[in-house]
Structure formats: structure tokens, C-alpha cells
């Protein structure tokens, strides 16, 4: 061994920065501005003033005082954007990845009347499969099954697919099964092989886009029924439609199984987010029971410094939604958030909160990281 | 002024009672489409009370500002002006009348705020302040003085005027402290302005309500300080809030315990172990009095029991996990203090720290007396005796470290009982990872290399099976963490074996075999980690994602070193290994050449890689020459 070599192998190493910081950019945000409406009975009818301008395919200008404020996203679609182009930008890639074994999630977010349902489902009175105005979901189903059939043909039938759907609703941190309206609330569990799942949720097998859409519609109806009979407001609940895709490939006596999930999430209306703690400076008041200072824990939690690389445990559990979709929020899944906004100046407040939410979503990063201790390793 | 027994006065009290009932009880049953019905009714009653009060006789020389004229100068809080001893004393008819009018204004203000009419609410609350200007603080009105400021604090914070809120709340705080110093009698409650004498509250109840109002002041201040970014101050106010809840027995045990445990995590991230230990001991004791865990049999029979069982078990497991972090950080901080530049224990530092500790011991006693201690008369002793079970000073040798390790390990076992692998995968693995980290920190203090190696082997035994069974599709990050950690453990063990072997003269076949096995295990896990970076088609990414950039390049670098470490007597095999090693070094160098922004992340490794890329070919050529001459 040369002296030089020896020096190298005995040489010590200075401490590097601790765990490497993380900047996972797996969440993309698509903002869509709906056209102004006439005669729909919305409060914004006849509202000529507009509170925002789309200035490029990724910038939107909010006409705030004293000066307009720009917001930048992965994609901004103006009023002229067609349903087909929304699908191409947002969902096409996610569906393709799904067939290749990746998990994917599409969130829809926005205030009531901002065009969320139109974007996701399409006009309410159509059959949704021939209509040119059909939304992201029917198009995704079509494309998914088109890809599946193509794969099966290409492989000369050595590949087969199995597709299951479940549909749940999260209201007030309780989970309800929309495919079984009689069921009580369900629990989230984790399994070493299949990740996070809702225990006991009904799974329906589907073999075509139309069947998948039927399952979705049925659940959607249940959501309405539940909201009238049980005093639940659908605008205050999150609905999660999950398609689980299992592909089986038999090649040379070896069976290769791949599982992936496509989640379509309808988030609670943004105008209902007031009661969450996204509000910044408002103080939490003591509850009337007077024993409980409910949010003291949240105050303390905000003090626990996460940035100094020290190990700590936070006792407050994730919300059910973030727990269920943990994988989508900055994991190895492809995730798109569609934020719908209404351009009317009367909607300024809601539009601002939607745009801010969408910006915060960009900041969701994977908090876990690979710890490595570089000290004294090179000897 | 109406005498307490007059017919008119009784009518006022009656109205007030009704208003209270409407606000607190009836309003919960208000229909969705008319949510404030009862509160509007209560508001009407309060207005009637106000009018009656205005019409009662006034003492001859008294002039009371008309409440319907806006006072010209709004009193603004912010500094504590000496309101003690100015204005009317609480007992004068005029003073008591002003206070009563102020109280009605207070209730009207709260009523408007609750019905989302903030500006009107603010106006009423400010009118209350104006009336109080005429009064000096006394046991009759000190509660009102404090509570109106609590309300104004909430109101202004809601408008993003945090400094304004801070002013009101800090004044309330100062008033409480001053009252307790100068008078301290259980003061009248704000509801008692409108009850007949015979219905006034017992002293104990008065104390309870007054202290609660002040606890709320601290609770709001904690939030204000957090919003202002004054974290340390916010922390100490949270601490005081918790202490007062305990002292006056106004808390829900499990909620309190979890909050105290969370506060402990704040302290340990600030390396304040004495406070952290105190919070955790209190959390454990209070969680202990939250009730007995119902048996599994009982919980199968009845849903309420099942819910209670799960809650109790979960919260206690959470507190156990906070204890684990306490032990872990204490060990890791001590290690940082004691290690030299190659990560071994520095004996001189150890001696220095021992001497420093002796000096500090006396001061510590003093410091301890400054910290707010948790406890009520019932719990104080149990909390102190739990504290004595584990140290809060940095361990300086193996024995001390081991005591902390063992304490942490009991909590590992407790936490794992609830967070079982089946059903709580992520939580379970986090606990196992902490357990492994505890072993790692303890191993640092162990002087015997063979025993140190055994400790690392324990880590392998707990992590490897999990790593094998975990589905990387749903747990990619955890998989990567485990792979990387396992690779590092094997690497560490290889180093230790080498150090042991270097002390012996010759290497026997068994040792060589073992050594090579450690090397190849380390390579295997680094390789698994590297493979997880590939696309499903098995392609290496053009550019590494930020979160894996450094780990991936470090893994390549380590694999390069490991290949050059393999021991073999065959020159051909040696050459193969060196060739692989060179390829990996080359990869690191090439990647940084193509992506210059990556250089800063792995400076040292890059430098070494560049040297090896120039040195290895020479070494290989010598080997080839040797091979050629021997054939």
C-alpha cells in the first residue's frame, strides 16, 4: 500500500451536515378558472367584476389591493380550457403510471360553485360517456381500461388485470362506507404488505369504464342520501374513491404480481375550511366545559422545532385523510391537485383562500428522510 | 340605587338568570337555519337590564358617562397604569353602579361576538372598559377587569392585530398578580352582580372561577406569543397553564398528560433535559390516574369499554414513545460532547466534563428551584419519585449510559405492546428504529470492541426481518431508511472486526470469512438502496432527486470502498474487486462532473473518490504485472 493510500484510508472525516434535507416535488398543482355564469342562480350571477387574470400557463394574478398579487403553479387554465386538455395535463400521466404499477392521486379542491363537479364529473344531466363535456373521472376510467386492454393484447394474454373499487367518506374524523350505507364508522389500519387501508370497506370488482362509473355514481348518491338523513353536509366531508389495480404476468413459469392504486379525492369545500386551524392568528378560546383547553396541545406542537434534526415524537395523530393518503403526499406516488376558482369579484375571499391552499399544498414535503451518520466512517 | 331586596332589583336578577340560561343551555338546541335565536333573545333581556340600571337612582354628585355616547378616548391597554386606588372604590354606590353597567356591557359584548357581530361586540366591550375606568380594582370587580381584557384579546387577535391583543392580555396578567399580592380574597364572580345576596357563591367556587379566568389569560397569552414567534415565552406560558390546570384540579387527565408529554418534546429539542424529564414524569403520573385499562374481555362485550381501553392504551404508548426520545436524545447529545474527530470516545473531554459536572451540581439545585414544578398536593410526590428513576444529566461513561439505555428500553417494550406491527406498521417500525438508535448510542460508550460488535448485531437482528417483509411500494421511504441503516451497521461491524484483527498477528480463515461476509452484507444493502432509486424499467435517473442525492452518492462511495476491502488470496479475484471499486468511484466523480451542483453535498467523499480514480489503476497495473510474471 502506498503512503498516499494509507493516508486516505486512515484519514478522518469532518462532520457533514446531518440528515440531508428533502425537497420532494411530487405534488403538482393545476388551477382552473371557470367561466362567468348567467342564470344559474349562483350569487355571482351578473357579477361583471373579475378578481383575477390568467397571465400565462402557470401564473395567475389576483387583483388585490394595493397591488395585484401573482401566484405561480404547475399549470393555470383559463376559462377557455377544454375538458379534454384538463384530462391530458392532469390525469393522463397518472393513469399511465398506474397501469405500470405506480400509485396515483388526484385531488379536487375549491368552493361550492367554482366548477369542481363539472371538472371532475362533467355536466350533471349527461350519461358521461358520450358527452364532449365529460369530466376528468370518466375520461380517466376510459383511458385506464383502454390501456389495460392494450396491455393484455400486447402480451398475448400472458398478462391479466383485476380491478376493484372502494368509495369512502371522511366526515368529522369518522369514516363511512359509501358503497354500504348501512355500515357504522370504519377504522384505518396498516399492513406490512398492503400499506394503509380502511378495514371492512366494501370492494366492488369492475371490468369496464362504465361499470366503474356506475359504482362511483352509486356512492355519490349515497353521499347525498346520507347528508340529508344524518345531518351530514357533503360540502364538509372528504370523499375518497379508490381503484386498486392488480396485474399478473406469467412469464416462463414465474408469476409477477403488481399492485397499484388510483385515488380520486373530493376535498371538503374550501368555504368550510374556516374551522380548521389554517387561520393563522385567531386565538383558540377555552371550551365551555372549562376543563379543557382543547388546543393547548397544538400551541405546544408548534413550538417543537423540527428543523434541528433532533429526534422527537409528536403525540397528535395525523388527520384520517392525510393518514390514508400519506403515500400520495410526497411519497413515491404521482399526485395532482386541481384547484377550481371562480373569477367573480364577489368570490375574492374564497378565491384567495383556495389559491393559498394550493400554494401550501406545494410545500407538503416528505418529512421522513434517510439519516446517515457520516462521522468517522472513512477510516 | 335599588336596594338588593326591591321588587325592581329582583326583576333584574330574574332577567339576568334567563339571559344566562338562554345563552348557555337553550342556544345549543337552536335550529340550523336560525342558529342564534336564543342568543338574540338573551341580547334583548340584557338590553332591558341595561335600561333598568340606568333608571335606578344615582348618588347626587355622580356623573356617569352615558354609555350611548362613544367615549372620546378609548382606553388602550398595553402598560399597566396604576388603576389601583383611583376612581371610586368598589363599595361606593357610584362605583358599584358603574361596575354593574360595565358588567352588562361585557355580557352584551360577548353576545355580539358570539353572533358574529364583531364591531358591535368591540364597542360594548370598550364601553365596559370605560365604566371600569371609574372604579378602582376591588374584590367586587377584579374578575370583570380581567375577563373583559381576555375577550378583547381574543377579538383583536382575530383581526390580526396581535400586538393589541397582547396589550390587553398582559394588562390582565398584571392585574391578577397585583390583586393577589395586595388583596387576595376570593373575589366576586362576574355573574354575581345580578344575584340576590342570599344566592351569592361560596368562597371556594369564587376562587375556582377566578383562577380559571386567569388560567385562560395565560392560555391566550401562550397563543399570542406563539403567533409573535416568541417561542421560548410561549413555551413557558404553556408550562404555567398546565401547572395551573393541575393545581386547581381543572383538567381532563388524558388530555393533560398528552399535552405535558408534547411539551417534553419541546424541551428535549432544546436540550433542556431537566424540564423534559419533569414533564414526562408528570405525564406518566397523570395518565396513570386517568383510570384502569378495561380488560380485553370487557371491551369485547361493550363498545364504550372498548373505546376506553383503546384510548388509555394508545395515550400511554404515546407517552412511552416520548420517554424513548428523551433517553435517545440524552445519549446522543452526550455522545456528541464526548467524541473526537473519528467518532471515538475522547478521554480528555470525559475528564473535563466530569469536573464541570461536579462544579455544576450545586448550581443545579438552585436552577431547579427556579423552574415551575408540576403537581398538586396529591400528585407532587409521585411525580418526584418517578423523576428519580432516570438521570437528566449527560452520561459520561458506559455505566451511566447503560442506565439511561435500559430505562429507554423498558418504554420501547411498553410502546410496542400497543403499536403492534399488524395494524400499526409505521408506528411499530419507528419504535424499532428508535430501539436500534438506542443501541447505537450505547455502543459508543462500550470500550470492548467485541461487545460493541454484538450490540450492532442486535440492531441487525431487529431491522433485517422487517426490511425483508416490507412492501417498498407503500413504504418506500421507510424501506430506504432501513436499507441504509443496515448497510451502515454492517459497515461499522466490518470496521470493528478489522480493528480487532489488527491487534492479532495473523488472520485465520474463519476471521477472513466472517470479515468478507460483513463486507458483502453491507454491499448488498447499499445496493438495494441504490436499486430503489432506479425507475421501474431499471434505469438510473439522469438527475438524482434532492432527497436521495447525498445518500445515493455516499452509498456508491461506500460500495467502492467495500469492494477494495474484500480479502482474497487470489490476484484474479483481487483484480475483479478493484475493478468494481474503480467503477463506483468513477461513477461518483462522473456524476459530479455532469451535475456540478451536487459537489457541495459530498465534498469530502468526492475528493477521496478523485484520488482513488487516479491511484487505483496504478495498483491494478502492479497486480496485473504480478499476475503475468507468475504465470
Mean local confidence (pLDDT), B124-149: 93
Mean local confidence (pLDDT), A255-284: 71
Neighbour-count burial of A196, counting CB atoms closer than 10 A to its CB (0-12 exposed, 13-18 middle, 19+ buried): middle
Query: Is the predicted pLDDT of residue A225 greater than 80, yes or no?
Result: no
Q: CA angle at residue B364 from B362 to B370, to 5 degrees?
A: 125
pLDDT band for position A379 (50/70/90)? very low
> In this structure, are residues B442 and B425 in contact, taking their beta carbons and an 8 Å threshold?
no
Q: Which residues of B touch A21 (CB under 8 A)?
A: 546
| CA distances (Å), origin A95, targets A102, A217, A264, B63, B256 | 9, 20, 11, 78, 47
Quick one: cell of B301?
A: 362485550
CA distance B210 to B248: 11
Q: Which pLDDT value is given to residue B517?
A: 96
Whole-structure pTM value: 0.86
Q: Which residues of A touch B24 (CB under 8 A)?
A: 288
- Residues 194-253 on B with a CB inside 8 Å of A are 212, 215-216, 219-220, 222-224, 226-227, 231, 234-235, 238, 241-242, 245, 250-252
Nearest C-alpha neighbor of A361 from the set A327, A334, A335: A335
| CA distances (Å), origin B343, targets A17, A41, B340 | 15, 71, 5
Q: Which pLDDT value is given to residue B519?
A: 97
pLDDT digits (tens, 9 = 90+) for B102-122: 999 999 999 999 888 989 999
CA distance B501 to B512: 9
Query: Is the predicted pLDDT of residue A16 greater than 50, yes or no?
Result: no
Question: Torsions phi, psi of A49, nearest 5?
Answer: -70, 140
CB proximity B29 to A under 8 Å: no
A131-155 burial: b if 16+ Cβ within 10 Å, else e: eeebbbbbbbbbbbbebbeebeeee
Mean local confidence (pLDDT), B183-187: 91
pLDDT band for position B369 (50/70/90)? low
CB proximity B160 to A under 8 Å: yes
Q: Angle, nearest 10°, between helix axes A136-154 and A92-99?
A: 40
pLDDT digits (tens, 9 = 90+) for B202-231: 999 999 999 999 999 999 999 999 999 999
* Chain A closest-CA separation from residue B303 CA (Å): 12
Q: Which residues of B touch A375 (CB under 8 A)?
A: 339, 342-343
CA distance B249 to A291: 9
Q: Which pLDDT value is given to residue A20?
A: 31
CB contact under 8 A, B488 and A373: yes
Q: What is the DSSP letter of B599?
A: G
pLDDT band for position B200 (50/70/90)? confident
Mean local confidence (pLDDT), A319-332: 78
Q: Which residues of A touch B603 (CB under 8 A)?
A: 16
pLDDT digits (tens, 9 = 90+) for B12-66: 999 999 999 999 889 888 887 788 999 999 999 999 999 988 887 554 344 444 4
CA distance B49 to B13: 9
A189 bridge partner residues = A197
Mean local confidence (pLDDT), B406-422: 97
Q: Which pLDDT value is given to residue B27?
A: 87
Of all helices (H) and strands (E), which one includes residue A60? strand A59-62
Query: Is the predicted pLDDT of residue A277 greater than 80, yes or no?
Result: no
CB contact under 8 A, A331 and B476: yes
Q: How many CB pairs below 8 A link A and B?
A: 226
Question: Torsions phi, psi of B56, nearest 5?
Answer: -65, 155
CB contact under 8 A, B215 and A293: yes
CB proximity B164 to A under 8 Å: no
Neighbour-count burial of B93, counting CB atoms closer than 10 A to its CB (0-12 exposed, 13-18 middle, 19+ buried): middle
Query: Is the predicted pLDDT of residue B252 greater than 50, yes or no?
Result: yes
Q: Which residues of A touch B325 (CB under 8 A)?
A: 311-313
With H, G, I as helix, E, B as strand and everything else as coil, classify residue B8: helix
Mean local confidence (pLDDT), B274-279: 95
List, as one string, the DSSP characters of B504-524.
SSS--HHHHHHHHHHHHHHHH
CB contact under 8 A, A14 and B215: no
Query: Is the predicted pLDDT of residue A70 greater than 80, yes or no?
Result: yes
What's the whole-number average pLDDT of chain A?
A: 79
> In this structure, are residues A376 and B558 in contact, taking their beta carbons and an 8 Å threshold?
no
Quick one: cell of B462?
A: 431487529
Mean local confidence (pLDDT), B382-406: 94
Q: What is the DSSP letter of B294?
A: P
What's the whole-number average pLDDT of chain B?
A: 89
Q: Which residues of B touch A283 (CB under 8 A)?
A: 153-154, 157-158, 165, 220, 223-224
Question: Torsions phi, psi of A188, nearest 5?
Answer: -90, 135
CB contact under 8 A, B165 and A283: yes
pLDDT digits (tens, 9 = 90+) for A113-172: 888 888 998 887 767 677 889 999 999 999 999 999 999 999 888 889 999 999 999 988
Of the given ranges (A185-199, A347-361, B427-441), which has the lowest mean pLDDT? A347-361
Q: Which residues of A touch B29 (CB under 8 A)?
A: none
Nearest C-alpha neighbor of B556 from the set B518, B583, B576: B583
CB proximity A376 to B under 8 Å: yes
More confident residue, B159 or A280: B159
* Chain A closest-CA separation from residue B273 CA (Å): 13
Query: Is the predicted pLDDT of residue B198 greater than 90, yes or no?
Result: no
- Residues 61-90 on A with a CB inside 8 Å of B are none
- Residues 110-169 on A with a CB inside 8 Å of B are none
Query: Is the predicted pLDDT of residue B3 greater than 50, yes or no?
Result: yes
Of A22, A190, A288, Cβ closest to residue B546: A22
With H, G, I as helix, E, B as strand and everything else as coil, classify residue A265: strand
| CA distances (Å), origin A288, targets A78, B17, B23, B194, B245 | 47, 18, 11, 21, 15
pLDDT digits (tens, 9 = 90+) for A199-212: 999 999 999 999 99
Of A25, A300, A311, Cβ closest to residue B325: A311
What percent of chain B stands above pLDDT 90?
A: 68
Q: Which residues of B touch A24 (CB under 8 A)?
A: 545-547
Q: Which residues of B touch A96 (CB under 8 A)?
A: none
Q: Which pLDDT value is given to residue B342?
A: 81
List, as one string, the DSSP characters of A127-179.
-SSS-TT--HHHHHHHHHHHHHHHHHHHTTTSEEEEEEEEEEEEETTEEEETT
Mean local confidence (pLDDT), B469-482: 89
CB contact under 8 A, A378 and B343: no
Q: Which pLDDT value is given to residue B367?
A: 59
Q: CA nearest A11 in B: which residue? A: B342
Q: Which pLDDT value is given to residue A353?
A: 83
Q: CA nearest B259 in A: which residue? A: A297
* Chain A closest-CA separation from residue B74 CA (Å): 23
Of B24, B477, B536, Cβ closest to residue A366: B477
CB contact under 8 A, B154 and A285: yes
Q: Which pLDDT value is given to residue A248?
A: 87
Nearest C-alpha neighbor of B328 from the set B239, B211, B437: B437
- Residues 195-224 on A with a CB inside 8 Å of B are 195-196
Q: Which residues of A touch B604 (CB under 8 A)?
A: 13-14, 16, 378
A255 bridge partner residues = A250
With H, G, I as helix, E, B as strand and everything else as coil, classify residue A297: helix
Q: Which pLDDT value is given to residue A5?
A: 29
pLDDT digits (tens, 9 = 90+) for B557-601: 999 999 999 999 898 999 999 999 999 999 999 999 999 999 998
> In this structure, are residues A122 and A134 in contact, taking their beta carbons and an 8 Å threshold?
yes
> In this structure, are residues B403 and B336 in contact, taking their beta carbons and an 8 Å threshold?
no
> In this structure, are residues A54 and A60 in contact, taking their beta carbons and an 8 Å threshold?
yes
Q: CA angle at residue B588 from B584 to B594, to 5 degrees?
A: 135
Q: Which residues of B touch A242 (CB under 8 A)?
A: none
| CA distances (Å), origin B593, targets B99, B163, B586, B590, B607 | 78, 53, 10, 5, 12
Q: CA nearest B320 in A: which residue? A: A313
Quick one: cell of B601?
A: 453535498
CA distance A357 to B252: 34
Of B234, B558, B604, Cβ closest to residue A303: B234
Interface mutation target, options B250, B339, B444, B474, chain A, most CBs of A under 10 Å = B474
Amino acid at each position: 500500500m502506498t503512503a498516499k493510500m494509507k493516508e486516505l484510508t486512515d484519514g478522518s472525516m469532518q462532520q457533514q451536515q446531518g440528515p440531508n434535507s428533502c425537497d420532494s416535488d411530487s405534488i403538482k398543482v393545476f388551477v382552473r378558472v371557470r367561466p362567468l355564469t348567467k342564470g344559474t342562480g349562483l350569487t355571482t350571477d351578473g357579477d361583471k367584476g373579475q378578481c383575477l387574470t390568467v397571465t400565462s400557463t402557470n401564473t395567475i394574478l389576483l387583483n388585490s389591493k394595493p397591488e395585484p398579487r401573482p401566484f405561480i403553479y404547475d399549470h393555470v387554465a383559463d376559462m377557455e380550457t377544454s375538458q379534454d386538455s384538463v384530462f391530458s395535463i392532469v390525469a393522463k400521466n397518472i393513469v399511465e403510471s398506474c397501469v405500470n404499477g405506480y400509485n396515483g392521486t388526484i385531488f379536487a379542491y375549491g368552493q361550492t360553485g367554482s366548477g369542481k363537479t363539472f371538472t371532475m364529473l362533467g355536466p350533471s344531466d349527461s350519461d358521461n360517456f358520450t358527452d364532449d363535456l365529460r369530466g376528468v373521472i370518466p375520461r380517466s376510467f376510459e383511458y385506464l381500461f383502454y390501456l389495460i386492454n392494450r396491455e393484455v393484447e400486447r402480451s398475448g394474454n400472458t398478462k391479466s388485470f383485476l380491478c376493484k373499487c372502494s368509495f369512502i367518506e371522511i366526515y368529522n374524523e369518522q369514516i363511512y362506507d359509501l358503497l354500504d350505507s348501512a355500515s357504522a364508522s370504519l377504522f384505518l389500519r396498516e399492513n406490512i404488505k398492503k400499506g394503509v387501508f380502511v378495514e371492512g370497506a366494501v370492494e366492488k370488482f369492475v371490468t369496464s369504464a362504465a361499470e366503474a362509473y356506475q359504482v362511483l355514481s352509486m356512492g355519490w348518491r349515497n353521499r347525498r342520501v346520507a347528508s340529508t338523513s344524518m345531518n351530514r353536509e357533503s360540502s364538509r366531508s372528504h370523499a375518497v374513491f379508490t381503484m386498486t389495480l392488480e396485474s399478473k404476468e406469467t412469464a416462463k413459469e414465474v408469476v409477477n404480481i403488481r399492485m397499484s392504486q388510483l385515488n380520486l379525492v373530493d376535498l371538503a369545500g374550501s368555504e368550510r375550511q374556516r374551522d380548521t386551524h389554517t387561520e393563522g392568528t385567531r386565538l383558540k378560546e377555552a371550551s365551555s366545559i372549562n376543563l379543557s383547553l382543547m388546543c393547548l396541545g397544538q400551541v405546544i406542537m408548534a413550538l417543537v422545532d423540527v428543523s434541528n434534526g433532533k429526534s422527537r415524537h409528536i403525540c397528535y395523530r395525523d388527520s384520517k385523510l392525510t393518514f390514508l393518503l400519506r403515500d400520495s403526499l410526497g411519497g413515491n406516488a404521482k399526485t395532482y391537485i386541481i384547484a377550481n376558482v371562480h373569477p367573480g369579484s364577489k368570490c375574492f375571499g374564497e378565491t384567495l383562500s383556495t389559491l393559498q391552499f394550493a400554494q401550501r399544498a406545494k410545500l407538503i414535503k416528505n418529512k421522513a428522510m434517510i439519516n446517515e451518520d457520516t462521522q468517522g466512517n472513512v477510516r | 340605587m335599588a336596594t338588593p331586596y326591591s321588587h325592581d332589583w329582583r326583576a333584574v336578577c330574574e332577567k339576568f338568570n334567563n339571559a344566562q340560561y338562554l345563552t348557555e343551555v337553550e342556544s345549543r338546541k337552536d335550529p340550523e337555519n336560525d342558529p342564534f335565536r336564543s342568543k338574540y333573545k338573551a341580547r334583548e333581556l340584557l338590553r332591558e337590564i341595561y335600561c333598568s340600571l340606568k333608571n335606578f337612582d344615582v348618588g347626587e354628585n355622580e356623573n356617569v358617562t352615558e354609555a350611548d355616547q362613544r367615549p372620546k378616548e378609548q382606553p388602550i391597554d398595553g402598560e399597566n397604569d396604576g388603576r389601583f386606588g383611583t376612581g371610586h372604590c368598589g363599595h361606593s354606590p357610584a362605583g358599584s353602579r358603574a361596575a354593574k353597567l360595565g358588567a352588562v356591557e361585557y355580557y352584551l359584548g360577548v353576545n355580539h361576538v358570539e353572533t358574529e357581530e364583531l364591531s358591535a361586540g368591540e364597542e360594548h366591550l370598550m364601553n365596559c372598559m370605560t365604566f371600569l375606568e371609574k372604579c378602582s380594582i376591588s374584590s367586587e370587580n377584579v374578575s370583570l377587569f380581567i375577563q373583559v381584557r381576555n375577550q378583547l384579546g381574543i377579538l383583536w387577535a382575530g383581526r390580526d392585530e396581535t400586538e393589541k391583543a397582547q396589550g390587553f392580555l398582559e394588562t390582565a396578567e398584571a392585574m391578577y398578580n397585583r390583586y393577589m399580592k395586595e388583596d387576595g380574597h376570593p373575589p366576586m364572580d362576574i355573574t354575581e352582580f345580578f344575584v340576590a345576596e342570599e344566592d351569592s357563591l361560596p368562597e371556594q367556587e369564587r376562587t375556582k372561577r377566578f383562577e380559571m379566568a386567569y388560567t385562560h389569560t395565560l392560555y391566550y397569552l401562550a397563543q399570542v406569543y406563539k403567533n409573535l414567534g416568541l417561542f421560548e415565552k410561549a413555551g413557558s406560558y404553556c408550562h404555567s397553564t398546565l401547572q395551573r390546570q393541575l393545581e386547581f384540579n381543572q383538567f381532563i387527565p388524558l388530555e393533560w398528560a398528552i399535552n405535558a408529554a408534547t411539551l417534553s418534546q419541546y424541551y428535549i429539542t432544546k436540550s433542556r433535559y431537566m424540564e423534559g424529564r419533569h414533564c414526562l414524569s408528570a405525564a406518566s403520573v397523570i395518565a396513570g390516574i386517568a383510570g384502569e385499562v378495561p380488560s380485553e374481555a370487557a371491551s369485547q362485550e361493550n363498545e364504550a369499554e372498548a373505546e376506553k381501553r383503546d384510548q388509555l392504551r394508545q395515550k400511554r404508548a404515546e407517552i412511552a414513545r416520548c420517554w424513548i426520545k428523551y433517553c435517545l436524545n440524552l445519549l446522543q447529545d452526550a455522545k456528541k460532547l464526548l467524541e473526537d474527530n473519528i467518532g471515538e470516545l475522547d478521554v480528555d473531554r470525559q475528564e473535563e466534563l466530569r469536573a464541570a459536572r461536579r462544579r455544576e451540581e450545586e448550581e443545579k439545585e438552585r436552577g431547579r428551584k427556579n423552574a415551575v414544578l408540576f403537581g398538586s398536593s396529591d400528585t407532587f410526590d409521585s411525580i418526584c419519585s418517578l423523576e428519580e428513576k432516570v438521570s437528566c444529566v449527560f452520561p459520561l461513561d458506559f455505566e451511566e449510559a447503560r442506565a439511561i439505555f435500559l430505562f429507554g428500553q423498558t418504554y420501547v417494550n411498553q410502546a410496542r405492546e400497543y403499536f403492534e406491527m399488524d395494524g400499526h406498521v409505521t408506528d411499530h417500525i419507528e419504535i424499532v428504529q428508535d430501539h436500534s438508535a438506542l443501541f447505537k448510542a450505547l455502543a459508543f460508550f462500550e470500550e470492548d470492541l467485541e461487545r460493541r460488535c454484538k450490540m450492532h448485531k442486535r440492531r441487525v437482528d431487529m431491522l433485517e426481518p422487517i426490511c425483508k417483509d416490507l412492501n417498498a411500494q407503500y413504504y418506500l421511504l421507510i424501506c430506504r431508511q432501513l436499507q441504509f441503516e443496515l448497510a451502515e451497521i454492517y459497515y461499522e461491524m466490518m470496521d470493528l472486526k478489522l480493528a480487532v484483527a489488527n491487534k492479532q498477528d495473523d488472520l485465520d480463515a474463519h476471521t477472513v470469512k466472517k470479515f468478507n461476509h460483513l463486507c458483502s452484507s453491507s454491499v448488498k444493502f447499499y445496493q438495494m438502496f441504490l436499486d430503489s432509486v432506479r425507475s421501474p424499467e431499471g434505469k438510473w435517473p439522469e438527475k438524482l432527486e434532492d432527497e436521495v442525492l447525498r445518500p445515493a452518492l455516499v452509498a456508491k462511495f461506500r460500495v467502492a470502498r467495500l469492494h477494495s476491502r474484500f480479502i482474497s488470496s487470489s490476484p484474479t479475484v483481487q483484480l475483479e474487486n478493484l475493478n468494481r471499486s474503480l467503477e463506483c468511484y468513477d461513477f461518483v466523480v462522473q456524476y459530479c462532473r455532469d451535475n456540478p451542483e451536487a459537489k457541495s453535498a459530498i465534498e469530502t467523499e468526492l475528493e477521496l473518490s478523485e484520488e482513488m480514480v487516479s491511484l487505483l489503476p496504478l495498483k491494478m497495473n502492479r497486480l496485473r504485472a504480478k499476475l503475468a510474471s507468475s504465470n
